[in-house]
Amino acid sequence: MHAPVDPSPGGAAPHPFAKPKTHRETYEFLIRQVLRAGTYSVLLAVGLIFAHIIIKGVPVVFTTKAPFINTNFLTKLPETLHVIEDKQGKIYETSPQGSDVIKKELGGNMRSEKTISYSGGGILGPIVGTALLVLVCMVVALFLGIASAIYLSEYASHGKFIEGVRLAILNLAGVPSVVFGLFGLGIFVLSAPVLTDTPHERSLFSIPLGFTYMSFQGWDTCVLSGAFTLAFVILPVIITASEECLRAVPQGFRETSLALGATRWQTIWRTVLPFAMPGILTSSILGIARAAGETAPIMFTAALAFKDKLPWQGDSGFFGIFTQSVQALPYHIYTIAARIPQSEYSERAQYGSVFVFLVLVLMFAITSVLLRRKLRAKYQW
């Protein structure tokens, strides 16, 4: 007697209760596959971008010899790169000071020389300038953002006006950064108040204070102008995220604190804010990392393409550090990539700068994650 033949492919018996797929199930399956493909496409594109930057940037920052880091790239100021070729085809890469020595040694054996702006030296100046901008931006943005979120969440009464304020804050998050740059140029660079004995002729108006004048003449292009502009770029994100974190704290915490005799501010400071702080810090640090990468706002308010001194190398004192223009990594990358002729030498400086900048942003992200874990472990509810 012969065994029954299995009609299903592969020898597997069909499920007795299986039913054919309906059109709706087929449609859902196709939609799920399209969404999956879109997600994986984004991940693939991001992975390829990061891989390209790492492949191009790592050889610039790291070396095969001890200490395995290109210290010159990280500790020198940017300068013009001189590339000299002799008649035997040997290439010499040197600084402006060293080019004269090499040309003198080669004499008539020199075949050609070309210069590539901003592609020699290192990126210490842009790193320092970015750090100063981010530091001041962090102080201003956190203070104004958290203060605004506390008022909107804990003090403001519900109504059309406050809803309009929230809508305006959300709309500000979609404003192009170049618009914020023009805002910073008009407000901070040209018309912010300063105390001076001799008001500038461009001053909008001056208020005599007896011993000096408050002149609305602006701060010029400097760290303060750029940092305040960057703070306003990320304020909508910080305010919105902080308000949501404050609202997430259970209302019972407030009621218990008030019932024990605490004031409204004591309740916010001692009870509400500590439990909301993990989310506030996470969103704020990620927002500040975004501000560190902005180019358009600092183009109008703070950044220079080239500067041969660090901010503290002068006679302006400590506070003078914040009242002068600086280099910044985003603007430095833009300058190398878009404003000078491309070559293998400029490409090397470009990808090295981008790699270092990505490492700095990654450090911001890691810091936010560690802070969130530490504070969540401390304040559990």
The b-or-e profile of 178-214 (16+ CB within 10 A means b, else e) is eebbebbbebbbbbbbbeeeebeeebeebeeeeeebb
Same structural domain for residues 145 and 81? no
Confidence of residue 44 (pLDDT cuts 50, 70, 90): very high
Same structural domain for residues 316 and 233? yes
Could you tell me the two tokens for 330? 């985003």
> What pTM was estimated for this model as a whole?
0.83
Domain-located, residue 88: yes
At position 246, the amino acid (one-letter code) is L
Confidence of residue 7 (pLDDT cuts 50, 70, 90): low
Same structural domain for residues 207 and 111? no
pLDDT score at 17: 61
Provide the 10 A C-beta neighbour count for residue 265: 11
- pLDDT tens, 215-255? 888 888 899 999 999 999 999 989 998 999 899 888 888 88
Helix or strand run (H / E) with residue 286: helix 273-292
Provide the 10 A C-beta neighbour count for residue 258: 14
Angle in degrees, CA 283, 335, 337, rounded to 5: 90
- pLDDT tens, 59-71? 988 888 877 888 8
Domain-located, residue 249: yes
The C-alpha atoms of residue 354 and residue 37 are separated, in whole angstroms, by 29
pLDDT score at 94: 84
pLDDT score at 294: 85
pLDDT score at 21: 67
Could you tell me the two tokens for 145? 């953002």
Q: What share of the chain is helix, strand, coil (3-state, %, to 5)?
A: 65, 10, 25
Q: What is the mean pLDDT of residues 248-273?
A: 89
Give the whole-number percent of the chain exceeding pLDDT 70.
Answer: 92
Domain-located, residue 130: yes
At position 152, the amino acid (one-letter code) is L
Same structural domain for residues 248 and 365? yes
- Using alpha carbons, list the distances in angstroms from residue 305 to 75, 114, 115: 18, 20, 16
The C-alpha atoms of residue 294 and residue 231 are separated, in whole angstroms, by 11
Same structural domain for residues 112 and 128? no
Domain-located, residue 322: yes
Which of 87, 121, 155 is where one domain is finished? Answer: 121
Same structural domain for residues 280 and 251? yes
Most confident region among 21-25, 179-183, 370-374 by mean pLDDT = 179-183
Q: How many domains does the chain have?
A: 2
Beta bridge partners of 115: 82
Domain with 297 in it: 124-378
Same structural domain for residues 247 and 368? yes
Provide the 10 A C-beta neighbour count for residue 306: 14
- Output the domain CATH number for residue 333: 1.10.3720.10
Which of 95, 121, 147 is where one domain is finished? Answer: 121
DSSP label at residue 195 = E
- Answer whether residue 286 shows pLDDT above 60: yes
The C-alpha atoms of residue 313 and residue 326 are separated, in whole angstroms, by 12
- Answer whether residue 41 shows pLDDT above 90: yes
pLDDT score at 15: 60
User: How many contiguous H segments (helices) and E segments (strands) does the chain have?
Assistant: 14, 6
pLDDT score at 149: 92
Confidence of residue 381 (pLDDT cuts 50, 70, 90): low
Cis check: omega of the bond before 274, within 30 degrees of 0: no
Same structural domain for residues 192 and 116? no
Same structural domain for residues 273 and 319? yes
In this structure, of 43-57, 146-160, 317-331, the range with the lowest mean pLDDT score is 317-331
- Answer whether residue 317 shows pLDDT above 80: no
pLDDT score at 1: 47
Q: What is the mean pLDDT of residues 273-288?
A: 83
pLDDT score at 39: 95
Same structural domain for residues 209 and 159? yes
- pLDDT tens, 329-349? 999 998 888 888 888 888 888
pLDDT score at 344: 83
Same structural domain for residues 167 and 260? yes
Could you tell me which of 231, 241, 238 has the C-alpha nearest to residue 302? Answer: 231
213-216 and 193-196 strand pairing? antiparallel
The C-alpha atoms of residue 119 and residue 76 are separated, in whole angstroms, by 12
Domain-located, residue 220: yes
Confidence of residue 118 (pLDDT cuts 50, 70, 90): confident
At position 359, the amino acid (one-letter code) is V
The contacts of residue 153 (CB under 8 Å, 6+ apart) are 243, 246, 247
Sheet holding 206-208, edge to edge: 193-196, 213-216, 206-208
Asked if 51 contacts 45 with a C-beta cutoff of 8 angstroms, the reply is no
Which of 121, 150, 184 is where one domain is finished? Answer: 121
In this structure, of 21-30, 39-48, 74-83, the range with the lowest mean pLDDT score is 21-30
- pLDDT tens, 134-185? 999 989 999 999 999 999 998 888 888 888 988 998 888 888 889 999 999 9
DSSP label at residue 307 = -
User: Which residue has better confidence, 347 or 16?
Assistant: 347
Domain-located, residue 294: yes
Average pLDDT, the chain: 85
Domain-located, residue 65: no
Same structural domain for residues 307 and 260? yes
Q: What is the mean pLDDT of residues 12-30?
A: 72
Burial label, 86 (beta-carbon count in 10 A; 0-12, 13-18, 19+): middle
Burial label, 129 (beta-carbon count in 10 A; 0-12, 13-18, 19+): buried
Domain-located, residue 173: yes
Q: What is the mean pLDDT of residues 80-88?
A: 84
